[in-house]
Amino acid sequence: MHVLVTGGAGYIGSHTCLELLDAGYTVSVVDNLCNSSRIALTRVEELCGKKINFIELDLLDMQGLSQVFSRHPDIGAVIHFAGLKAVGESVEQPLRYYQNNLIGTLNLCEAMAKHGVKHIVFSSSATVYGTPARLPIQEDFPTSATNPYGRSKLMIEEMLADLHISDQTWQVVLLRYFNPVGAHPSGRIGEDPKGIPNNLMPYITQVAAGRLKELNVFGNDYPTIDGTGVRDYLHVVDLAKGHVKALEYTQKRSGVFIYNLGTGQGSSVLEMVRAFMEANKIDIAYRISPRRPGDIAECYADASLALRELGWQTEYGLTDMCRHAWNWQKNNPEGYPPSA
Ligand code: NAD
Ligand code: WQD
């Protein structure tokens, strides 16, 4: 089957393209490269010895998008990663986030409907659970949002569910990721944040590389095992495999399918720092800083539905996540080289 991957040059998208190609899918990627590099896809091609049909395009370009489907009438499903994802930036620039994430998705769905492609796998986030009342988090927990990024995810989830109500032949999959980290074991593709990283793992690897002086641990007075925030970190390769499983399971089923993708295990910030130091035999300088506004104390998944229905569960552990993250950073200290 031919799968269109939006945002396929990005962190999770590039790893998913590799898994799709390895599983025998034909892959086209639409990406405007606003937060990624074309080189990621060249490396994916090198890793699997197969080609990707890359189209540099903004999802806001409705006409261009429609052309992609008319030129490739064999596209049978879409995995939709394309979006802006920085929480803090979304608070400062809400209209840009709504414009890009909502209108981009609207355009995509319109083009899909027009060309009779009704199978979509969407990158949602654990952020849609807001501050959960209980742990671990199950898919039927109440949803809410505290920032424009999270709200855009929730709105898109609802929009896609409405689409299925209006036409029940739509196959809608909402994958709620917990905290993806790590990189492909080859060290050829990985996370390449622009500027100072917002997320914990890339910050740690940049401290390890000497690019940043020390990690700021945002708060040590949360009601958690050691006072620091607890999250459910999962290896990006496991996450990528989850997309292939979700695509396969929903191939012949219509409906709205919602899955948590996580390990089911919470780890604190200090546990992550220790795991990184032990896995890589490198010291990470850190200091305790004030809490980051908007952070919650604890968040981890009940991922048993994905296991029951998709037959998916994570295989990599914290040591692999830390080792592979460092392997990527070490081999690519400045991220991907500038495109030629
Ligand atoms: P990323 O920024 O590396 O990838 C997103 C890709 O989308 C980039 O390649 C970017 O260039 C592209 N893009 C953005 N807007 C576009 C547009 N209008 N048209 C075409 N391309 C566009 O991010 P990622 O970490 O790989 O995340 C992928 C998806 O998963 C995002 O939707 C994100 O919100 C979601 N998600 C990520 C995380 C995480 O921690 N990384 C967690 C939960 C959900
Ligand atoms: C993890 C823990 C921080 C950086 C965010 C988004 C979410 C999803 C994933 C994507 C927290 C602590 C972090 C640092 C720290 N996004 N931390 N020092 O906040 O769980 O989730 O990314 O699309 O929507 O909100 O992930 O990696 O930022 O933080 O102490 O420099 O690490 O306080 O406890 P988070 P994170």
- For the stretch 131-175, pLDDT in tens is 999 999 999 999 999 999 999 999 999 999 999 999 999 999 999
**Within 13 Å and on the Cβ side, how many CA atoms surround 205?**
27
pTM of the model: 0.99
The dihedral sign for the CA sequence 4, 8, 9, 14: negative
Cα of 84 to ligand 1 centre, how many Å?
6
Q: How far is CA 97 from CA 89, 129, 143, 145, in A?
A: 9, 19, 19, 14
Question: To 5 degrees, how large is the angle CA 209–CA 221–CA 228?
Answer: 35
List, in order, residues 6 or more apart from 126 with CB less than 8 Å away: 137, 176, 177, 178, 179, 232, 260, 262, 299, 301
Kindly state the tokens that stand for 330: 């070490």
Reply yes or no on whether the pLDDT at 340 is more than 90. no
**Rounded CA gap, 63 and 78, in Å?**
17
Classify residue 10 by burial, with Cβ atoms within 10 Å: 0-12, 13-18, 19+.
buried
Reply yes or no on whether the pLDDT at 4 is more than 90. yes
Share of the chain above pLDDT 90, in %: 99
Per-residue confidence (pLDDT) for residue 112, from 0 to 100:
98
Cα of 225 to ligand 1 centre, how many Å?
32
Average pLDDT, the chain: 98
Residue nearest to atom 4 of ligand 2 (CA): 200
Q: 177, 299 in Cβ contact below 8 A? A: no
Residue nearest to atom 32 of ligand 2 (CA): 200
Taking residue 334's Cβ as centre, other Cβ atoms within 10 Å add up to 10
**Rounded CA gap, 306 and 257, in Å?**
10
Residue 199 Cβ inside 6 Å of ligand 2? The answer reads yes
Given the structure tokens 């393209």, which residue do they identify?
17
**Rounded CA gap, 97 and 11, in Å?**
19
**Rounded CA gap, 62 and 217, in Å?**
43
Q: How far apart are the first and last CA of the chain?
A: 31
Reported confidence tier of residue 106, pLDDT bands at 50, 70, 90: very high
Residue 202 Cβ inside 6 Å of ligand 1? The answer reads no
Reported confidence tier of residue 339, pLDDT bands at 50, 70, 90: confident
For 183, list phi and psi in degrees, rounded to 5.
Answer: -155, 170
What's the farthest any 2 CA atoms get from each other in the chain? 56
Cα of 231 to ligand 2 centre, how many Å?
8
Single-letter amino acid code for the residue at 163: L
Per-residue confidence (pLDDT) for residue 38, from 0 to 100:
98
Reply yes or no on whether 300 is catalytic. Answer: no
